Structure 1
């Protein structure tokens, strides 16, 4: 809905009245990290659009409002405040009417306690000399600026902000902009001052403490969810870059607590490369004087693109500069390239409302891939995009419980739910498909036109399509509309004729054939057809579009061909069995005409089609067997991921489970024998990751030799404290093996890594791995630890580790249901509850367990996690059907394979 729409909708109750519009905020507030309180005064300049004697703004329930007033012309009025706790608002009522067309200024005093909730203005804990200390930082997206300052907390209500922070003298203040001034303030000796600042200073909690006042430069027009500030004992690393368009020097910093800030070097290095590159790509100057990153010990999401002050978890910004594994480097570079893209796409130009969240997140996800491919070509980011984002998008969107990329967001509970694989990965995949179809150069030119036309403004989908249409000459809205506004994606069924192929599109569902109502959408599908001519030359036709239900395409089926070359389009393909075998055999060749992305896409197509009953699961295992000489780690990692889903579904069938493990050992064991466990200096990135993947596969297969080797390495660490035999890239399999086969000693050692880590990567790996223990008493202890001692941000990650353990997975449901009320209150204002629902329930595999889960939630208020619950339960129904349909086929294939392997 456009912000200026005059049409009344059922959701108007969730939107602020449009009788006034903020133009500037002047916020002055104090933070006391000893009492864990803050308070302040906000003055907001308003344009009065209609005659009014009431002003409504957003204000969270735990924000205590003091005096409020409004000044219009020469008239100053006190305000009567009426709170609306259900909607998180406050109404300021005045006696005299404020006339339309006038200017006014509202002033409101307020105070609050620093939350422990990872949203609003909240506290984060860290250890110094064995003592727990705290610092304060913000997380406002999507609707929590109102928890730190009374404001108009909607993205289209942009305004400039001037922020002044009062804090204890020994702490550091940071915000979106650079500090304009910083002065000491001693309330015991300072003269009385007049005006608002003097009044506020008089309210400081401890008059005998040393305080300072930091005033920051005024921001450009900014949406409230992008405002940010933090106060704490921070240290920083710093560098500078000269920007290519303006020639200005921009300061770059990484902040963290003093004990870990040295681990920010790589993040700073990536920022220095990425920021100027984006300025060149978008042809728009970065408008701020600096860009900071704050690595936080407690953080709800992964990271947040606050303008000029990016915030996020330590694990996505920090790493051991001497012993970092490739996964940590990729996580940091990927996160930072995504967040810096937002400085333009989202921050300068912002979606008008949350139904267009994908305009921010999908584009930043795609741009992150483009930039990583430029800066780190050895990472094969384009193919990794297929293995991660395309796969993630299609797995979620194959469900009836999916939602369109662009979806109505009436209230805050629903807004929080759409930060998911559709707004990020599907949106990015659809935009990538468009870029491939019209060409990346024209795509980015269109994006630049879009950004320049809407600088510092708010936009909807049509604005982006108009920009790309102008650059490409294509009618983009016609091509893309159904991809954005409709649920799902197509399955293209390919049958062969004497003169070519016949293709038909139907909505793809992973559990059942779509009904007529579910199958109404016709997508405009770029088919991207690869063919090989008589001379062996490869041709890729990017112009072929399927715009109707079905059509026939002329080509020579006696030669090699494949649809969706490079896996650039968002659809699955079903071939006749003979064609699938030919494509798989060609893909296995060393000089194959099919790319790495082709192989990954083909593998996941077969995997998902077997899940949906459109091909047999044995087809996937046959594909694995054909590709056993594959050399690229991404294909092996994709094979391992697909195999994991089969193993999880059939783990209660002992014969099938044993056969699957034997098969996976047979695949990955020879790789381990060939590659070994050491990582020589100067080795290629691909070989490093292939070795890690091989060892992970052998661990999944419970290879005895690999198990003994990994256990011995962890045992040496326990005895000596020396991690020399635990290479950074093998932390995950070594920790997992230690937890699975070890006892109390190994469990305690992993707990120590979690509680007192050398770096964030070690901690993350240990949290996931410790859930692999097969000791029932240690499992009980771990569930108790997760409930009572784990940081809020880590509860889901402990559960993810437990979910991967067949012995622990059945215990997750009672863990959740028995502690539901505690979880509901503990995670009342952040996103953790929806992730917990997903993790604890999606692993069920029986109808009775499914029905019991439905019964449990029948009388619960599920408004904050309704989509996550629906998706989890649909995943369970799909798995039940998959097991019933596939167990005989799987058993027979494994039996025959075992017989062949003995010959």
Structure 2
């Protein structure tokens, strides 16, 4: 039957329901007893004791409560934060926990009504006496007339438990079944439900996706449940710690296939009443969390590895693009088995490229799902960076099979135990199969430097932070949980030594296998191994060190002040924030960290030792004496930038470093530390902690630099300078200065791709050409425009593209920027016709480079137009490209303001899309008038931002910091540029 989403979101209203009772209460007695006050008081007291006893006796941290935990920190059902967002306590009562599921689903994807029918039997364990079964359900209709509960013993269902009523709490997405008799502690029961749902197009829960073949639309059904969307596919106990086994059955059209977490068992079976459908039954899974359950119904094709049971799936005309993933996947999986000393516990693993997917990829146990661009690689069409992205995504999701799947965080507050480890291990896994790429070095400029910018905001958050509401949970899927967590894990790897780190992880995974864990479990395992191997003082624990990094917001800057007469040095730490220049905090409010101290000097030149020679033990300052440093030598702290902190120096030491950088022997300083010096110096100046003249002096040596990491570090921070200065009178001199720095490296890399070049040389060329063409480098622009013109005039341009894959990004964007509608429309047609996901991604970005306002406005309008050709998953990519364009930035912001209601309706509550829209549309605000508009927009839509609330808060803080920066630094920078661009 065809129903609207709104109808499907409503629960059955024909049953008796209870109001939102709080705690364990009883109904008031009838008024006819008023005269017998004493008798009534006895009765009421007895009833209260009877009903409250199960709740009062529960010893769990989160109290067992028959109607759920209806109060949030003792302040009523909900309160609101500064942005008007309700803060609900949505944790399930723990009177009942799941043991196993039997789930059957029939998705109707060919009929055209996009619904699904479902049935689930949940075997539950009663941990404390209760009269209610409360679980999660959202956006579905439960057949309340069918619902039943039975006792379960001796492996069979027994007595039926009578049901008093069923109720739906839409605020907390609870479905509660109230029974007429007590469900007894220590016993098992089977909860049996039937339901119908909607295959939505919001890329969450059980959703629909499509692609075209020869003009024909092909539909598929796929799942995406992390973090809280399994409840949109079937009623369940949708919390990560509530692990259970799953026996899944999927009905599918006979001409399609289905896959799930486990292998199929037996042959397909007929579906009663549906002659065109058959059942696929799957083996019972290992214990796992609901967010890891997965299933897909499609007409995809499959390739299987020769060794092991590793399979890849994609559209039939794209399946050959999955061969690279098939090549590296089994090798990375085997490497992780050896690294962790734990075998992958499932009998198979599938990796699927989906046409529509909100995130980059998802680690479902045994069934990894990805965007096409994150999994498919076409040699001769895709770029080297596309290939590295595929390897990184596969490595990341395979790491999750241990971190997240085998051992799962007890609650989303510990999300970093999933994402931080996967984000760090992805580099180790890729390095194992592609060692020439030097990805372990790339970590510093791609992850560490990237997250520093976000973590320097006051509106950043702790790595481990209390969350309750699904919106708050969704907010955690940001760079703090991924990149900062990965950075502090890398720091641990270095200060513990790799041997201790690896063995500690193995012990942790073995101890908590198939269970849930908290960060203290990890700290304990690492501490024991560190003490056994004597790399930590027996009086020091990993918890003592690492709690300062996970339970505090931000990171420190270590200020190094040398006494050039005595040779001693004083180190002082304080939190690094972009607003430091205008805010003074009291010492009692300042966080302090355990900081591993490493350093080297001009004569030592030891850039390999990363074990700390000293610790700052959460103390404000320390003094190092008897160092015997030559006062004419530079010293550099944070070797290989393994510590998660910035370093500032006294003026003389900065001058000694700048002097070294401008010598022919500047390579005596390691590549990573050259990148560190650039990133630290310019960000310290941005925060008002270092004279901008000194910071810019550090960059002057780049005129001789040819390595990728220092240039990447420079481009990252120069992007900020470019954004701030582009509307200022000093911009031309900034452009001239950057082009002067680029002159030598441009000649080195040239405008020609060489397939024999190392990966880092390729990446350097791409960055240098991108910036050269952006700033109007004559040779760069001419090459780009000519190559694009030749492509336009090539017979069959959809098949014959003469542009080298690694040069496509700069050629496409530059030609469209300097061209007009002809170039734009040509690229749009190539986007519509290409079959390669990475090519689509490049073209989508390049289309945002045009200077034609009306083209950008039309492009924005197509973002929210059905069947325009732009998929919902790509909206953030497009908006980011337009907002990065000086012409497009105000258009993007106005689009957000004017189309807000439409955007919310079009994208629903999708986890990542709305976050990306807010971040992209609001970046680059650096005037008081734009900030005023941003604040008014925020106030007007208070309470509507959902999972994008923190992003909006960070955008406002960033805009305020930008305005202060312009006021404080523009004159200084202008004067420096005049002196250095004569």
Aligned partner of 1:820 in structure 2 is: 900
Cα separation, 2, equivalents of 1:223 and 1:112:
21
- Preserved CA contact (<8 Å) 2:355 2:371: yes
Aligned partner of 1:10 in structure 2 is: 72
Cα separation, 2, equivalents of 1:776 and 1:366:
41
Aligned residues: 870
Cα separation, 2, equivalents of 1:485 and 1:138:
33
- Preserved CA contact (<8 Å) 1:506 1:519: no
- Preserved CA contact (<8 Å) 2:149 2:162: yes
Residue 193 of structure 2: SS of its match in structure 1? strand
Cα separation, 2, equivalents of 1:379 and 1:3:
49
- Preserved CA contact (<8 Å) 2:608 2:639: no
Residue 834 of structure 2: SS of its match in structure 1? coil
Aligned partner of 1:500 in structure 2 is: 568
Aligned partner of 1:22 in structure 2 is: 98
Aligned partner of 1:195 in structure 2 is: none
- Preserved CA contact (<8 Å) 1:772 1:805: yes
Residue 179 of structure 1: SS of its match in structure 2? coil
Aligned partner of 1:323 in structure 2 is: 381
Cα separation, 2, equivalents of 1:414 and 1:847:
30
**C-alpha displacement of 1:268:** 1.3
Deviations 1:693-752 (A, max 9, x none): 221120121112211110111111111116543111111111111211111111112212
Cα separation, 1, equivalents of 2:217 and 2:822:
26
Aligned partner of 1:465 in structure 2 is: 523
Of 510-519 and 798-807, deviating more is: 510-519
Aligned partner of 1:71 in structure 2 is: 150
- Preserved CA contact (<8 Å) 2:135 2:175: yes
Residues 1:118 and 2:195 aligned together:
no
Residue in structure 1 matching 2:980, options 875, 897, 900: 897
Deviations 1:606-659 (A, max 9, x none): 121121111233434322221221121222222222211101101111x31111
Residues 1:645 and 2:645 aligned together:
no
Residue 218 of structure 2: SS of its match in structure 1? strand
- Preserved CA contact (<8 Å) 1:68 1:78: no
Deviations 1:229-267 (A, max 9, x none): 0001111111043xxxxxxxx311111111212111111
Residues 1:56 and 2:114 aligned together:
no
- Preserved CA contact (<8 Å) 1:532 1:539: no
Aligned partner of 1:217 in structure 2 is: 283
Residue in structure 2 matching 1:414, options 454, 465, 472: 472
Cα separation, 2, equivalents of 1:455 and 1:68:
34
Cα separation, 1, equivalents of 2:939 and 2:733:
39
**C-alpha displacement of 1:19:** 1.2
Of 671-680 and 160-169, deviating more is: 671-680
- Preserved CA contact (<8 Å) 2:774 2:814: no
**C-alpha displacement of 1:386:** 0.6
Residue 344 of structure 1: SS of its match in structure 2? coil
- Rate the CA distance shift 1:265–1:563 in 2: closer, same or farther, 3 A: same
Pairwise CA RMSD? 2.0
Of 883-892 and 170-179, deviating more is: 883-892
Residues 1:842 and 2:923 aligned together:
yes
Residues 1:878 and 2:961 aligned together:
yes
Q: Which protein is bigger by CA-based radius of gyration? A: 2
Residues 1:357 and 2:415 aligned together:
yes
Matches within 5 A, 1:87-126: 87-126=172-211
Residue 600 of structure 1: SS of its match in structure 2? helix
Aligned partner of 2:79 in structure 1 is: none
Cα separation, 2, equivalents of 1:369 and 1:460:
24
Aligned partner of 1:809 in structure 2 is: 889
Residue in structure 2 matching 1:527, options 597, 608, 615: 597
Matches within 5 A, 1:376-525: 376-473=434-531, 474=536, 475-497=541-563, 498=565, 499-512=567-580, 513-516=583-586, 519-525=589-595
Matches within 5 A, 1:228-627: 228-241=294-307, 250-473=308-531, 474=536, 475-497=541-563, 498=565, 499-512=567-580, 513-516=583-586, 519-533=589-603, 542-547=612-617, 548-554=619-625, 555=627, 556=629, 557-587=631-661, 589-590=664-665, 592-627=667-702
- Preserved CA contact (<8 Å) 1:507 1:518: no
Aligned partner of 2:760 in structure 1 is: 686
- Preserved CA contact (<8 Å) 2:495 2:611: no
Cα separation, 1, equivalents of 2:588 and 2:198:
49
- Rate the CA distance shift 1:794–1:377 in 2: closer, same or farther, 3 A: same
Residue 166 of structure 1: SS of its match in structure 2? strand
- Rate the CA distance shift 1:228–1:20 in 2: closer, same or farther, 3 A: same
- Rate the CA distance shift 1:517–1:182 in 2: closer, same or farther, 3 A: farther
Cα separation, 2, equivalents of 1:390 and 1:226:
28
Cα separation, 1, equivalents of 2:480 and 2:604:
42
Cα separation, 1, equivalents of 2:460 and 2:608:
37
Cα separation, 2, equivalents of 1:251 and 1:148:
28
TM-score, with length taken from structure 2: 0.86
Aligned partner of 2:22 in structure 1 is: none
Of 667-676 and 728-737, deviating more is: 667-676
Cα separation, 1, equivalents of 2:871 and 2:720:
29
**C-alpha displacement of 1:20:** 1.0
Cα separation, 2, equivalents of 1:749 and 1:854:
39
Cα separation, 1, equivalents of 2:793 and 2:436:
37
Matches within 5 A, 1:740-819: 740-788=817-865, 789=868, 790-819=870-899
Residues 1:833 and 2:914 aligned together:
yes
Residues 1:719 and 2:790 aligned together:
no
**C-alpha displacement of 1:102:** 1.4
Aligned partner of 1:197 in structure 2 is: none
Aligned partner of 1:196 in structure 2 is: none
- Preserved CA contact (<8 Å) 2:676 2:713: no
- Rate the CA distance shift 1:838–1:93 in 2: closer, same or farther, 3 A: same
Residues 1:44 and 2:122 aligned together:
yes
Cα separation, 2, equivalents of 1:232 and 1:839:
33
- Rate the CA distance shift 1:614–1:227 in 2: closer, same or farther, 3 A: same
Q: Which runs of 5+ in 1 are unaligned?
A: 188-200, 242-249
- Preserved CA contact (<8 Å) 1:126 1:133: yes
Cα separation, 1, equivalents of 2:265 and 2:608:
60
Cα separation, 1, equivalents of 2:287 and 2:610:
45
Matches within 5 A, 1:723-738: 723-738=800-815
TM-score, with length taken from structure 1: 0.93
**C-alpha displacement of 1:135:** 0.4
- Rate the CA distance shift 1:514–1:750 in 2: closer, same or farther, 3 A: farther
Deviations 1:169-216 (A, max 9, x none): 01110000111123252x6xxxxxxxxxxxxx34xxxx4x42111111
Residue 606 of structure 1: SS of its match in structure 2? helix
- Preserved CA contact (<8 Å) 2:609 2:639: no
Residue 483 of structure 1: SS of its match in structure 2? helix
Aligned partner of 1:190 in structure 2 is: none
**C-alpha displacement of 1:686:** 2.7
